[in-house]
Structure 1
Amino acid sequence: MKYRRYGRTEIKMPVITCGGMRFQQSWSDIPWDEVKRGGQANLEAAVRFSLEVGSNHIETARGYGSSEMQLGMILPKFNREELILQTKVAPEEDPKVFLENFEKSMAYLKTDYVDLFSFHGINNAEILDWVLRDGGCMEVARKLREQGRIRHIGYSTHASNQVICEANASGLFDYCNVHWYFVNELNWEAIQVAKQQDMGVFIISPNDKGGKLYSPPQKLVELCGDLHPMQWNALFCLSRPEVHTLSMGVSCPQDFDTHLEMLDYYDKAEETMKPVEEKLRAEMVKTLGADWCAGWWKGIPEWEELPGGVNVKEIMRLYTYAKALDIVEWGKMRYNLLGNAGHWFPGHKAKDYDEGEMREKLSESPFADQVLGLLEEAHQMFDDAEVKRLSES
């Protein structure tokens, strides 16, 4: 395993983390006697393998159903001081409710402390305010840190770059879990702010939300050459020193294999991934034009400001990469979450909106004359059966 200093936490962080979102049995809390022995044995095998290969950062959340409980039943089998244990609890408008949920997490995990605590889902300005305002959830977390029950405080986010920058610039968080990878570079400014604050940076879902790369289209496979697209994307992320670790949503021990092979290229990440990046960007320019690729997102307001709440920026991002690189199934997966995922993936599909008003709202975009037509094309490309978040499916 390779390791990086996790910002001001000074933790020696493995560049691949063992995420606990996919190996639990249920997305709801269930009694221990309802946990299937085979599933629990698989979970233990995944964690044990993770530790054997040096990926000692184990990440879970209150919102991951039975994950905390199932982990709590096996953690005593390992040396606690060798683990970097992280859990996440959603902020609440009422800090008392937040504290109650934190206590549930600790009871399920059967531990006296967590190395990394995250506010789960600071996804908009309102939720950030619940955390940072006087008497808010941050004050509760700081008291827990004073008591030794939390060692470092961070957050996870699906918010806009503007909100993430504001959170990072506050100087109150030690690290952040954020989306950034080849098919989503819009949050790079927020990562730079994190660097200025000496924060740890954890990349969320580089394989799934980063392009459904575990099931890549043939075009992407060919462009990546000898590298699996998951490996290439990992090297793309890790070639930046501002990035410290990549989330691996593990369902079984074998899920580590492709990324462990990627580590063979770690020490030459930049020179290994750069030729593929050049091919991918050349293909995008060939398909969409250099001007579009250089600034398709400019001048597009956030979804709250647009008629019908259409998330134009997100739809254009999905369209851009799906059109050029054939990652259409990923585009469908994300597009059909719109309208069904609340603040985790906000806004609506490109339908049922006033075209005249939309044209006016997009007037600052250098591609204002194209976007309405591209929204229609994107809708035709992606629209399918509605998708729910995993936790609600």
Structure 2
Amino acid sequence: MQYRRFGKTELSMPVFSCGGMRYQQTWDDAPLDVVEAENQRNLEATIVRALELGITHIETARGYGTSERQLGQILPALREQRPSRGGPDGLIVQTKVAPLRDADEFRRQVLDSLDRLKMERVDLLGLHGINTHELLWWAIRPGGCLEVARQLQAEGRVGHVGFSTHGATDLIVDAINAEPFGGFDYVNLHWYYINQWNGPAVEAATRRDLGVFIISPSDKGGMLYRPSERLVELCQPLHPIVFNCLFCLNRPEIHTLSLGASQPSDFDLQVSSLAHLHEAHAVIGPIVERLHAALVEAVGAEHADRFREGLPAWDAEKNAGYINTHVVLWLRQLALAYDMIEYGQMRYNLLGNGGHWFPGLSAAHLDTITEERFAKAYGASPFADQIVGWLRETHELLGGAEIKRLSAS
């Protein structure tokens, strides 16, 4: 395993983290009584395998169903064997709790999460899902959740305080640059080959010396456990997962990639990428060129790189019917260039069902919107005359059954 300094936390972070959202018994907030023995054995085997590989960062959240409670059956003993002293051998435990309007309730939930984990202290506490400016305000306002988190830090219950986000880039940068109560120490965000929009947020985090944790690069980054044949072909001689890991880790300001393992073997492909990390730039260069050439061939050179220009935010006053046009057109590109139909369907049909975690609507109601409204929404785009047709094409290609977030299923 390789390790990187996790920003101002000074923790020695493995470049892969063991995410805790896929091996638990259920997404329901249920007691341990519902956990089957085989599921618990699999969870424990997954954690043991992670540690064997040098993956010393175990990450979970209060919102991951039974994950915290199940980890509480194994982590205390592992903590005794591997006390967190800042070195690469120490166990780093992270949980996340959503910011709340009621900061006292937030404190209660953090302490309850510690009880579930059977731990007196966690090394990293994340404010989970700062996806809107309202949630950011609940965090950073006087007497808010960040102030409570700093109080818990002073009490020895929390090591470092960060946040996770699925929000827009501008919001993430605002959160990174927040000053109250010392601001945040690290950020969990999305950034990988198929979605590099948050590059400015990564740069802002680097300037402020925040730890940078990449969320779900192998699943949200393209369902790479089940890649399309076209993507496999374009990424040769690497598996798409290995390519994506190298693409991310080739940037030294990226400190760790989350692996949401559901079983011990799920680490194998990602960890195999470490053998190429010393030559990552040379190895991924030809693949990046092929992927971009395939995109240009599928959608045209101008649209490949400029499709987001002039588009309103999904919640902007002038937007057409709250359609998340940025996301819809992005999924169209992925489907046409890389045959990423399954991924596109999963993400597209989440629009309208994902709340602030995946906001805005799909193009299902396209025919109810007037031409005048479209002209107002897309008039600033260099592709104004084509966007409605692209939206319709995407809905025909990807529209289908309603899909819910994992935590709502």
TM range (shorter): over 0.9
Aligned-residue offset at 1:54: 0.2
Match for 2:404: what amino acid?
K
Counterpart contact for 2:247–2:284, Cα < 8 Å = yes
Counterpart for residue 191 of structure 2: 180
Counterpart for residue 21 of structure 1: 21
Distance 2:82 2:24 in 1: 21
Counterpart for residue 405 of structure 2: 389
- Does residue 244 of structure 2 align to residue 233 of structure 1? yes
- Deviation string, structure 1 residues 347-375 (Cα, Å, up to 9, x no partner): 11113241421221111111111111100
Counterpart for residue 189 of structure 1: 200
- Deviation string, structure 1 residues 275-300 (Cα, Å, up to 9, x no partner): 10110001111111111122111111
Two-structure CA RMSD over aligned residues (Å): 1.0
- Deviation string, structure 1 residues 54-102 (Cα, Å, up to 9, x no partner): 0000000000010000001111231251210000000011111211211
Distance 2:117 2:264 in 1: 21
Distance 2:396 2:3 in 1: 44
Counterpart contact for 2:310–2:380, Cα < 8 Å = yes
Match for 1:226: what amino acid?
P
3-state SS of 1:308 partner? coil
Counterpart for residue 57 of structure 2: 57
Distance 2:71 2:236 in 1: 38
Counterpart for residue 331 of structure 1: 344
Aligned-residue offset at 1:33: 2.8
Distance 1:275 1:363 in 2: 37
Counterpart for residue 75 of structure 1: 75
- Give the TM-score normalised by the residue count of structure 1: 0.98
- Give the TM-score normalised by the residue count of structure 2: 0.94
3-state SS of 1:368 partner? coil
Match for 1:322: what amino acid?
A
- Does residue 109 of structure 2 align to residue 101 of structure 1? yes
Counterpart for residue 148 of structure 2: 140
- Does residue 267 of structure 2 align to residue 251 of structure 1? no
3-state SS of 1:163 partner? helix
Distance 2:362 2:33 in 1: 42
Counterpart for residue 166 of structure 1: 174
Aligned-residue offset at 1:124: 0.9
Counterpart for residue 201 of structure 1: 212
- Does residue 388 of structure 2 align to residue 372 of structure 1? yes
Of 256, 272, 282, the residue aligned with 1:261 is 272
Identity of paired residues, percent? 49
Q: Which sits farther off after the overlay, 345-354 or 112-121?
A: 345-354
Q: Which sits farther off after the overlay, 261-270 or 52-61?
A: 261-270
Distance 1:222 1:355 in 2: 42
Counterpart contact for 2:5–2:11, Cα < 8 Å = yes
- Does residue 375 of structure 2 align to residue 359 of structure 1? yes
Q: In structure 2, do the counterparts of structure 1 residues 228 and 355 end up closer, same or farther at CA, with 3 Å as the change threshold? A: farther
Counterpart for residue 282 of structure 1: 293
Distance 2:176 2:30 in 1: 36
Aligned-residue offset at 1:220: 0.7
Count residues in correspondence: 393
Match for 2:246: what amino acid?
L
Match for 2:255: what amino acid?
H
Of 146, 151, 155, the residue aligned with 2:159 is 151
Counterpart for residue 86 of structure 2: none
- Deviation string, structure 1 residues 165-224 (Cα, Å, up to 9, x no partner): 111112511110001111111110111100100111111011111111110111110111
Of 313, 325, 328, the residue aligned with 1:315 is 328
Aligned-residue offset at 1:247: 0.6
Counterpart contact for 2:364–2:399, Cα < 8 Å = no
Counterpart contact for 1:359–1:372, Cα < 8 Å = no
Unaligned 5+ runs, structure 1? none
Counterpart for residue 89 of structure 1: 97
